[in-house]
Amino acid sequence: MIKEEEYKKRRDTLASKMSKNSIAILFSTNYKTRSNDTEYPYRQDSNFYYMSGFKEDNSILILIRKNRKYKSVLFVNKKEKIDELWNGKRLGKEEAKKRFLVDEVYIKDEFEKKFKEYLEGKDSLYFDFKLDYSKVKILKRYAKSLAIHKNIAKIIEQMRLVKSDAEIKLIKKAINITKEAHLNLMKLNKINKKEYQLQADIEYTFKNNGAYSDAYTSIVAGGNNANTLHYIDNNQYLKEGDLILLDAGCEYEYYASDITRTIPVNGKYTDEQKKVYNLVLNTQLKVLEAIKPNVKRSKLQKIAVNSITEALVELGVLKGNIKKLIKNEKYKPYYPHGIGHWMGLDVHDSCPYKDKNGKEISLAKGMVLTIEPGIYLDEEDKSVPKQYRGIGIRIEDDVLITDDGYENLSSEIVKTIEDIENLKGK
């Protein structure tokens, strides 16, 4: 649980970064159509949620700064019988005023009138530059005379980079639920099941443990499907003797987890699979060892590239001088992605990787990122020795940067061959 005081503190910080005579506006996101008149489950916009803690659609948060002071205003849905009959209960103006530590609350119908008032005499407007056009149109209608437009998302996403204790608690909870899902699947007999049946098991564990949603569509990739990085069809049979790459993580109270394990369908790795697996695992361990404050992500990527290139030579996929192979990016077809990404309210947290001057941001206490090396050897790739074709392996953990190193938040999800095989045997 994030306390209302924490949301207020975030708004204080945001206001302190705004220029002295300005207004900032944040919108909740819209429902998204799945087909015709059906919609996807609603998920609040992460920046709006970070600043307000409010989950309802059709809401707006405004900060109005004048000199050293600022005022916060929340616009909420009107409580209307018919609307509530169809769409569910709304918090309403009175309850919202009691719950949130904002200065004023109005119903949404009052927005345009109030917004016009707030804009008077202001010189800049902060809004999210990725806002959908329907909302930009509203802003244009009222704020076209304002000369200076600034991107509020940039400021908030910078703030989201370092997680608070309360946020870390929620991330840990998400990872714990995800742990259950992964360990369950390791124990399960998976032969001749369809990939989406395992996806159902994963989602059952998420929901059954209080996580309403996944943080992203689970990748349940049997055999060669693991070599499609964004494989989410999940509709093939799992074959005896194949591996299965499971990239699945739940979202708990808006916070993500993002874990990959690559496990055997029948519980036992073949010698070839073991060989590739341990090369990926060793790469991951080498990268983890280097993690501490002030280290840059690009250094971690370098360690991964070096280790994977060596691994590809050892497997006979690449030949030649390691330095040259790296310089010519020969590893890229087999390890095309980065070593990891920020994680928080979004699985790929939209926090910056570079500072205002274009310099790479170093790791610091409270940041959370994934570490996910992989080797992907497609079944049709003739440059891969035959015995390794069709093997795709990724191992992904979520780590928190601490005072002097890191904490692997997903360390309880076993990942050595021995531990995974033992779990199946039980």
CA quadruple 207, 213, 219, 221: dihedral, nearest 10: 20
What is the rounded CA–CA span in Å between residue 112 and residue 418? 63
The question of whether 233 is a catalytic residue gets the answer no
If binding is defined by CB under 6 A, does position 258 make contact with ligand GLY? Answer: yes
**Least distance from ligand GLY to the Cβ atom of residue 229, Å:** 9
The question of whether 258 is a catalytic residue gets the answer yes
**Least distance from ligand GLY to the Cβ atom of residue 396, Å:** 6
The question of whether 83 is a catalytic residue gets the answer no
Q: Which of residues 352-371 bind Mn ion (CB under 5 A)?
A: 370
- CB-based contact 410:259 (threshold 8 Å): yes
Out of Mn ion, ligand GLY, none, what residue 252 binds, judged by CB under 5 to 8 A for its kind, is none
CB neighbourhood size of 378 (10 A): 18
Out of Mn ion, ligand GLY, none, what residue 251 binds, judged by CB under 5 to 8 A for its kind, is none
DSSP 408: E
Cβ neighbours for 202, distance < 8 A, ≥ 6 positions apart: 181, 185, 214, 218, 220, 246, 248
What is the rounded CA–CA span in Å between residue 151 and residue 190? 48
Cβ neighbours for 107, distance < 8 A, ≥ 6 positions apart: 75, 76, 77, 78, 93
Task: Output 373 or 390, the one with its CB closest to ligand GLY.
Answer: 373
Task: Output 56 or 349, the one with its CB closest to ligand GLY.
Answer: 349
Task: Output 222 or 267, the one with its CB closest to ligand GLY.
Answer: 222
179: left (phi over 0), alpha (psi -120 to 50) or beta: alpha
**Site map (CB under 6 A) of ligand GLY, residues 164-203, x = contact:** ----------------------------------------
The question of whether 230 is a catalytic residue gets the answer yes
Cβ neighbours for 324, distance < 8 A, ≥ 6 positions apart: none
Number of residues that bind ligand GLY (CB under 6 A): 6
Comparing CA positions, the residue from 95, 93, 91, 114 lying closest to residue 105 is: 93
Out of Mn ion, ligand GLY, none, what residue 216 binds, judged by CB under 5 to 8 A for its kind, is ligand GLY
**Least distance from ligand GLY to the Cβ atom of residue 89, Å:** 34
Q: Which of residues 199-258 bind Mn ion (CB under 5 A)?
A: 247, 258
What is the rounded CA–CA span in Å between residue 202 and residue 212? 12
If binding is defined by CB under 6 A, does position 247 make contact with ligand GLY? Answer: yes
Task: Give catalytic residues, as residue numbers.
Answer: 37, 230, 247, 258, 337, 341, 348, 372, 376, 394, 396
Binding residues for ligand GLY, rule: CB under 6 A, are: 216, 247, 258, 347, 372, 396
